[in-house]
Structure 1
Amino acid sequence: MADTFQNEVPRARINLKLSLHTGGAQKKVELPLKLLTVGDFSNGRENRPLSEREKININKNNFNSVLSEFSPEVNLTVQNTLAGDGTEENLKLRFSDIKDFEPEQVARQIPQLRAMLAMRNLLRDLKSNLL
């Protein structure tokens, strides 16, 4: 009864095991995965060195609130392949929720792609009304 379903670990999970050798005895200890990401995510707004900044604990329950608090954005210059004339477009993508990283949500932030999405939705609605 020692190996119950509660001790089974899904294959997708990362398992860290440490083998301790103390006084001839060997013991295996499973460690939790803890990840520390250090970087300047203030986009130049913070002047203090990284060592003096507040550490933020992020987990699955507070990810969206932390993301909305920081509201990261990406400024890009990309070639406008839709126009086909070799021009470039300046894009500003903002993220305040984990769902903002989904392809359709990213496309909604780009004016040309937003128009194409609207056309796709109109065609989908038309098709569903005809069937």
Structure 2
Amino acid sequence: MASKPQSQAPKERINITYRPATNAKEQKELPFRMAVMGDFTMRPDETPLEERKMLRVDKDNFNDVMKSQKLGLTVNVKNQITGKEGDEIGVKLNFATLKDFEPEQIARQVPELNQLLETREALNALKAPLSNKRDFAKKIQEIVTDEATRAKLMQALMGGGEGGQA
């Protein structure tokens, strides 16, 4: 039994192929179109269903449509940072683009997590000069040999001066 060759739609769209009811030998191919109805904003809308406008969504305007809908979510989540039992964080997330669903972008919207990300970035920035050992050793030598700089550093380390405790 020989199988019929299947038509392949381009990656960017789906086509539906059918044989008309008139018993025509040729098949018709139409682009697949879909209407989706749902409560994606999670906000009440008093507009009657018949009067609501359809939004055309495609790959070129997806982010614009998301932004216009003002999508967001407000939840309380367990605070994993402090580790205290029953401790929760109020989280308000906004989604204007698909990129906003990425883990780092979500973390940037939560102040407690954003602070941890900024600390990580600061540590990475501090680590970069350490990779150049010669320059780092030279800078350390300058600090140790210069009496004023060494005194400032000691004062800062003891928590009493510039760059000390915040």
Q: Report the TM-score range of the alignment, normalised by the length of the smaller protein.
A: 0.7 to 0.9
Superposed, 1:104-123 pairs within 5 Å as: 104-123=104-123
Shift of 1:62: 1.6
Partner of 2:75, secondary structure, is strand
Higher relative contact order (CA 8 A, sep 6+): 1
Give 2:137's aligned residue: none
Shift of 1:14: 6.4
Give 2:27's aligned residue: 28
In 1, Cα distance between the equivalents of 2:31 and 2:50? 25
Cα-to-partner distance string for 1:16-62 (whole Å, 9 max, x where unaligned): 44230555444334432323221233433421233321111111222
User: What stretches of structure 2 of length at least 5 have no aligned partner?
Assistant: 1-6, 132-166
In 1, Cα distance between the equivalents of 2:43 and 2:12? 36
Point out the structure with the larger helix share. 2
Shift of 1:95: 1.3
**Distance change >3 Å, CA 18–CA 91, structure 1 → 2:** same
Superposed, 1:39-118 pairs within 5 Å as: 39-86=38-85, 87-118=87-118
Partner of 1:81, secondary structure, is coil
User: What stretches of structure 1 of length at least 5 have no aligned partner?
Assistant: 1-6
Partner of 2:115, secondary structure, is helix
Confirm or deny: 8 A CA contact 2:16 2:32 kept in the other structure: no
Partner of 2:73, secondary structure, is strand
In 2, Cα distance between the equivalents of 1:9 and 1:124? 47
Confirm or deny: 8 A CA contact 1:39 1:50 kept in the other structure: no
**Greater CA drift, 116-125 or 20-29:** 20-29
Partner of 1:91, secondary structure, is strand
Give 2:134's aligned residue: none
User: How many residue pairs get matched?
Assistant: 124
In 1, Cα distance between the equivalents of 2:101 and 2:71? 11
Point out the structure with the larger strand share. 1
Residue identity opposite 2:120 in structure 1: R
CA RMSD across the alignment: 2.5
In 2, Cα distance between the equivalents of 1:60 and 1:128? 39
